[in-house]
Homo-oligomer: A and B are copies of this chain.
Amino acid sequence: MTAKAKYGDKAIAKAKLIPWDNPNPERDYTIEITFPEFTCVCPRSGYPDFATIRVAYTPDKKVVELKSLKLYLNSFRSMAISHEAATNLIFDDLKKALKPRQMEVTGDFNVRGNVKTIIKVTL
């Protein structure tokens, strides 16, 4: 199923992830990225949600350009999307753009209704 089919039109209007050449594709090494300023909108209440997004991957031919990743994550600011769907969608988009050898994406969401939730998707 395509991202469009799963998440609707809105979800695919996001900023583009730009891949760069991996300077050392001859070996396995890991890149861990932390973005503590993710915000989107709760699809039920309409209130803003906040999370820290963490990405850890072993690049194959491509690494993600960091500014494009920031703009991509900023582009969720007005999107109405659940915790589970947001984390899985980021995973899908990075997987398609980078085809990494390994990857884990974590959405560590702030407390809502006294409940804290962390979603973790692994290749």
A residues engaging B (CB < 8 A)? Answer: 6, 22-24, 27-37, 39, 47-48, 50, 63, 66-67, 69-70, 74, 77, 82, 84-85, 87-88, 110-122
Contact partner of A35 (CB less than 8 A), chosen from B24, B39, B63, B115, is: B115
**Contact, CB under 8 Å: B121 / A27:** yes
A85-B23, A88-B23 in contact; A69/B115 too (CB < 8 A)? yes
**Copies of this chain per assembly:** 10
Q: Is the interface of A mostly helix, strand, loop or mixed?
A: strand
A31 to B30, CA, bound (A): 21
Contacts of A50 in B (CB 8 A): 37
The answer to whether B48 touches A77, judged by C-beta atoms less than 8 angstroms apart, is yes
Task: Please provide the 3 A-B residue pairs with the shortest distance between their CB atoms, ordered closest to farther.
Answer: A29-B121, A32-B118, A34-B116
